[in-house]
Structure 1
Amino acid sequence: MAARYVTELVGALERCGERPAIGAGSRVLRSSEVLDAVHRLAGALAEAGVGRGAGLACVTGGNRPEALLVRIAAHVLGARLTQVVTGPAVHGLEFILRDCLPVLVVHDVPVPATGAPLLDLGELMARAAAREPVEVPVRAREEDVARVTYTGGTTGLPKGVASTFGAMAARDGRRGAAWTETVHLSVTSLAPRAGGRCLEQLRAGGRVEILDPFAPGEFAAACLRLGRVSTYLTAPMVYRLLDDPATAGGIPGLEAVSYGASPILPERLREAVTGWGGRWRQGYGMNEAAVISRLTPSDHDEAVAGRPELLASVGRPAAGVEVQVRDERGAVLPAGRTGELWVRSAAMMTGYWNQPELTAEVLRDGWLRTGDLGHVGGGGYLYLDDRSKDLVIVDGVNIYSLPVEAALARHPAVAQAVVVGRPAPATGEEVCAFLVPAAGHTPSEAAAAEACDLVERELAPAHRPTAVFWGADIPLTDRGKPDKRRLRTRAAAPPAAGR
């Protein structure tokens, strides 16, 4: 039987016909035009040797609508897609293009030679346009690997996450009216999850608009132009919009916001929810497991109405997802105790591509070890405490970075805070903080000391950062998360500034 994820996507495009589907500024493709382009592209790709089970890599220098069309065509053919949007944080491209075993690499930027045939994206589009619009039947099957998505990780080479079409169909992509009846404005990289979000919107009969690159002014202008907008933002994007005078108090046209990728500071989240209004939804997840838990719009409403602790939560398990908190021996811990999160669902990866030993480390009896540390609080809400790899151990005491970061950011001079550890001869490790000054505040040793005082008062003396670094921004990975690997390198070097 053909893969449901793909047949439903094609069926939605057929039903929507002349309705707008994919836009990028003044250029808008109707659903019928998208489907026509997909069939032509599928034919051109098939002629180039791409078929069911074959690897296809698509490398672009930015977010382009053409990349979405190639993605859908690859899904129709049942190909194994690896999509990369290059940027300053993308590394290991040569390794990726070798490891994913592509029969063809489509690109619009220079790519390293790896032995696989190369085809310029513009040339592919020209070949497709010259073809007759012959319908290509869906060849994908549920058990086929739909995509191999590479995660940056914290050390070493990227690792490929293999997901089947069946797993993609099991993901909670069904959107309520607050999302489907709006235009989904896509502003994050199409390579990891944003491309999937766009296809979820199309699969539900909605419309997407691609904005590249992201900037507060352009984002606000797009919301105003499109009228009713839903979007997905990373935490740093929320901070940029809050810190820009043109968008701080509200964004006309913006009705629904999903956010995730990295923890968000509760105080700044409350500022955005109360200042902008609309419906808010958080998704905690990972490539290996898709969405694990959600903080729903009603949860956000309750939080601002009198339950502020919910804004520090990542919500409750999503439909079809089981979550357990376990200790280092794998024993399940009671509510309130911090341990590693183990999850189980039909949407999980099949494993790491070409890495059976690593797969065996994280997949145990149908459960996935996330590497995240957290606990279950009142009402079954899940709270993250840290990544296991980001844990700082000071004199044998576990220091979780998220509570420290939240305490630092409560100081009025601090707009953003990220905490990492570095080796220390006396204590094994010490806590280092990287701070971004709030608008109108000048970085100073006094402000850093006061922020560290907050940490000590709210948590304990062992949590107090022993080194503080001010900077204009926080470096990000290609997924929009704070790049703690780079920050650890900076922290290990002789400090240029300190508390």
Structure 2
Amino acid sequence: MNLVSKLEETAKAKPDRIAYIFGEQTETYGGLQQKIDCFAGGLRELGVEKGDHVALLLGNTPHFVISFFGTLKAGAVAIPINPAYTPSEIGYMLTNGDAKVIVADGRLLPLYEKMHESLPMVGHVVFCETGGPLYEPEDPHVKVKLKSFATVMKPAAAQSFPELKEDDTAAILYTSGTTGQPKGAMLTHQNLFSNANDTAGYLTMNEADLVVAALPMFHVFCLTVCMNAPLMNGAAILIIPKFSPAKVFELVKKHKATIFAGVPTMYNYLYQHEAADEHGFGSIRLCISGGAAMPVALLKKFEETFNVLVLEGYGLSEASPVTCFNPFSTGRKPGSIGTDILNVKNKVVNELGEELPAGQVGELIVKGPNVMKGYYKMPEETAHTIRDGWLYTGDLAKRDEDGYFYIVDRKKDMIIVGGYNVYPREVEEVLYRHPEVAEAVVIGVPDPNTGEAVQCYVVPKKKTLTEEDILSHCTQHLAKYKRPSSIIFLEEIPKNSTGKILRRALKDILANT
């Protein structure tokens, strides 16, 4: 079984069931399957063969759902890319990923016109009509490759599609590239299907659910949890083009959505919005948090305000992504990423790869059918990351006696002050307990006396909050070496498109102050 065949099975059994809602559009499983078939056939007519790479530069629209599943059905490999990336970032991924076809938002045509000469391997570019007329390129050579999404979607004669094997690459997801160039994680059909299926089962997703897709669909969190998992279980997706607290509250109430997934910053924005009250998420039965550690203080405040359960989990692109979740029914532990999901094993090891006893901090490693086959064209990186079948995540974690895992921090983000380890998350948890702190993040900075010092960035709720207030608060809750050396107040903490904090940008801010 794979994503394509499972969706076909559901569409055949229950063609009239709602598959997604987008604005005023409502599409059934039968209608979605028909569109997928047409797009897959259109790709084949463009010359796409099994194993070819198709890049998707799309936001949250039905185009993404159709083109992703259509690409897989055609036997090709989907490469979702953030359309808001810079031309150099997009160019690198298209070139490194050997994209033969690009499917993109029509508003990106001016960008493609500037880049097309550096992309000779691209045979066709399919542009989606996402609002307004399509931009007309001035260069006549550009027009030769252009196709509209509607043209590719035209029903064609019956076609045969290639057989999809479990170990065939289905998608290449580029990591965020926190150090060096982004790496393309190759995920197989088995990787994607097993993780979507196991995640849906763990979260008890069913046909009565309407899952909010406000996270970017090109990101693995949304791809699996908000798109693939619901569609594997007959649930519906509420597609929101761009996260906005006001829009989320409006659409959740209007359509009576039942599941919301987001990163901690999204929960923080929802909690602090003027419309935040228990009625805002009245129909939501479950919230899912991932992508980064959620401060316990924020989790408790959110649950009290909206009277809803928030389950933290853990994942990474290389694992399709989910490896851990807090139990849905009983035994949730705030601050923990939970326990192993079905078919996946997590453990904490030392530098020799030996499993550590409960309570000790080491690197989290993962094993299961969801683990990638490797990085595209990077055999050395693959060998370093996957050892004896285990995926080394680069995250520091610990396990308690009950088998619950806790992310301590990214291995590379740990701060060493005078020989002592300081984990940014521990300091951030304390900062979030201050009633006047809206957001906070901690990084390490060079210090001539201790090697490194703790640098803190805070977004205050009120302008009256002072550095002395924060330092006094930290003195009450942190050992001396863990306390911030200074506080920098910001109006907003820089984040990427999925809401993850950009620590490198914070270091740039510090360098320019």
TM-score between both structures, scaled by the size of structure 1: 0.91
Structure 2 match to 1:306: none
Using the TM superposition, give the Cα deviation of residue 336 of structure 1 relative to its aligned residue in structure 2, in angstroms: 0.6
RMSD of aligned Cα (Å):
2.0
- Given that 1:423 and 1:492 are in contact with CA atoms closer than 8 Å, whether structure 2 keeps it comes out as no
Structure 2 unaligned segments of length 5 or more: list them.
129-146
Q: Deviations over 1:398-453 (max 9, x none)?
A: 11111111011111111221111122222221111111213x46332232222332
Q: Give the structure 1 partner of residue 127 of structure 2.
A: 121
Correspondence for 1:433: 456
Name the SS for the 1:188 alignment partner. coil
Tell me which residue corresponds to 1:212: 241
- Seq. identity, %: 27
Instruction: Measure how far apart 1:132 and its partner are.
Output: 3.5
Give the superposition deviation at 1:279: 3.9
What is aligned with 2:224?
196
What is the rounded CA distance, in whole Å, between the counterparts of 1:462 and 1:422 in structure 2? 13
Larger deviation, residues 126-135 vs 426-435: 126-135
Unaligned stretches of 5+ residues in structure 1: 304-309, 495-499
- Which residue does 2:62 correspond to in 1? 65
Structure 2 residue aligned with 1:270 = 300
Aligned 8 A contact 1:422 1:491 in 2: no
Aligned residue for 1:297, secondary structure, equals coil
1:491 to 2:510 alignment: yes
What displacement does 1:383 show? 1.0
Give the residue type in structure 1 aligned to 2:176.
Answer: G
Q: Where does residue 331 of structure 1 map in the other structure? A: 354
Deviation at 1:35, TM superposition (A): 0.9
- Report the alpha carbon displacement of residue 179 of structure 1 after superposing the two structures with TM: 5.4
Distance, in Å, in 2 between the alignment partners of 1:10 and 1:397 is 55
Q: Which residue of structure 2 lines up, in the alignment, with residue 25 of structure 1?
A: 23
- Separation in structure 2 between the aligned mates of residue 88 and residue 354 of structure 1, nearest angstrom: 22
* 1:80-91 matched pairs, under 5 angstroms: 80-87=77-84
Q: 1:133 to 1:275 in 2, by over 3 A?
A: farther
In structure 2, what is the Cα distance between the partners aligned to 1:55 and 1:338?
A: 40
Alignment partner of 1:182 is 2:209: yes
Closer/same/farther in 2, CA of residues 143 and 178 from structure 1, 3 Å limit: closer
**Deviation of residue 28 (structure 1)?**
1.2
3-state SS of paired residue (2:218): helix
Matches of 1:11 and 1:405 in 2, distance apart?
46
In structure 1, how many angstroms separate the alpha carbons of the residues matched to 2:422 and 2:431?
A: 14
Q: 1:162·1:351 contact (CA, 8 Å) conserved in 2?
A: yes
Aligned-partner residue type, residue 293 of structure 1: C
2:326 is equivalent to residue 295 of structure 1? yes
Q: Residues 382 and 173 (structure 1 numbering): CA distance in 2 closer, same or farther, change over 3 Å? A: closer
In the alignment, which residue of structure 2 is the partner of 1:12? 10
Mapped to 1, the partners of 2:506 and 2:362 lie a distance apart of: 25
- What is the alpha-carbon distance in structure 1 between the residues aligned to residue 249 and residue 257 of structure 2? 12
- Hey, what's the Cα distance between the residues in 1 that align with 2:74 and 2:62? 19
Give the direction of change, closer, same or farther, for the CA distance of 1:59–1:298 in structure 2 (3 Å limit).
Answer: same
- The aligned counterpart of 1:235 is 264
Contact 1:20/1:29, CA 8 A, preserved across alignment: yes
Separation in 1, partners of 2:289, 2:12? 30
Distance 1:189 1:147 in 2: 16
Aligned to 1:447: 469
Greater Cα shift, 276-285 or 287-296: 276-285
Kept after mapping to 2: 8 A contact 1:6/1:76 = yes
Note the alpha carbon deviations across 1:463-496, whole angstroms, 9 max, x for none: 11112111122211233211112112223443xx
The one of 72, 94, 99 equivalent to 1:97 is 94
Cα distance in 1, alignment partners of residues 236 and 287 from structure 2:
16
Letter in 1 for 2:127: L
Larger deviation, residues 37-46 vs 9-18: 9-18
Q: Distance in 1 between matches of 2:83 and 2:449?
A: 41
User: Separation in 1 of the partners of 2:365 and 2:474?
Assistant: 33
1:280 partner letter:
V
Query: What SS class does the counterpart of residue 100 from structure 2 fall into?
Result: strand
Alignment of 1:43-442 (within 5 A): 43-60=41-58, 62-87=59-84, 92-108=89-105, 109=108, 110-111=111-112, 112-113=115-116, 114-115=119-120, 116-122=122-128, 123-132=147-156, 134=158, 137=161, 139-171=163-195, 172-175=198-201, 176-177=203-204, 180-193=207-220, 194-197=222-225, 198-251=227-280, 252-289=282-319, 290-299=321-330, 310-438=333-461, 440=462, 442=464
| Segment of structure 1 superposing worse, 458-467 or 134-143 | 134-143
CA drift of 1:140 comes to: 1.9
Q: Deviations over 1:46-87 (max 9, x none)?
A: 111222111111112x31111110001111112111011323
Secondary structure of the residue aligned to 2:342 is coil
Say which of 482, 491, 494 aligns to 2:501. 482
CA contact (8 A) 2:454 2:482 kept: yes
Q: Which amino acid aligns with 1:40?
A: C
- Equivalent residue, structure 2, for 1:307: none
Q: Which amino acid aligns with 1:192?
A: H
Contact 1:167 1:346 in 2 (8 A): yes
Whether the 8 Å CA contact 2:289–2:313 is kept in 1: the answer is yes
SS in 2 for 1:334: coil
Q: How many residues align?
A: 479
Deviation at 1:348, TM superposition (A): 0.2
> Can you list the C-alpha shifts for 1:180-237, whole angstroms capped at 9, x where unaligned?
4121110011012213331221121111111121111111110111123212111001
Report the residue type matching 2:362 in the other structure.
G
Cα gap change, 1:91 to 1:314, in 2 (>3 Å): farther
Query: Would the alpha carbon gap of residues 210 and 139 (structure 1) be closer, same or farther in structure 2, given more than 3 Å must change?
Result: same
For residues 288 and 130 of structure 1, the distance between their equivalents in structure 2, rounded to whole angstroms, comes to 35
Contact 2:326 2:336 in 1 (8 A): yes
Distance 2:92 2:86 in 1: 15
Find the aligned partners of 1:129 and 1:332 in 2 and give their Cα distance. 52
Q: From the superposition, tell whether residues 104 and 145 of structure 1 become closer, same or farther in structure 2 (CA, over 3 Å).
A: same
Q: Residue by residue, what CA displacement relative to the aligned partner does 1:21-60 show, whole Å, maximum 9, x if unpaired?
A: 1221101111111111111111111111222111111112
Q: Secondary structure at the match of 1:98?
A: helix
Match of 2:465, SS state, is coil
- Decide whether aligned partners of structure 1 residues 373 and 90 sit closer, same or farther in structure 2, where only a CA change above 3 A counts: farther
- SS at structure 1 position matched to 2:318: coil
Report the CA distance between 1:89 and its aligned residue.
Answer: 8.2
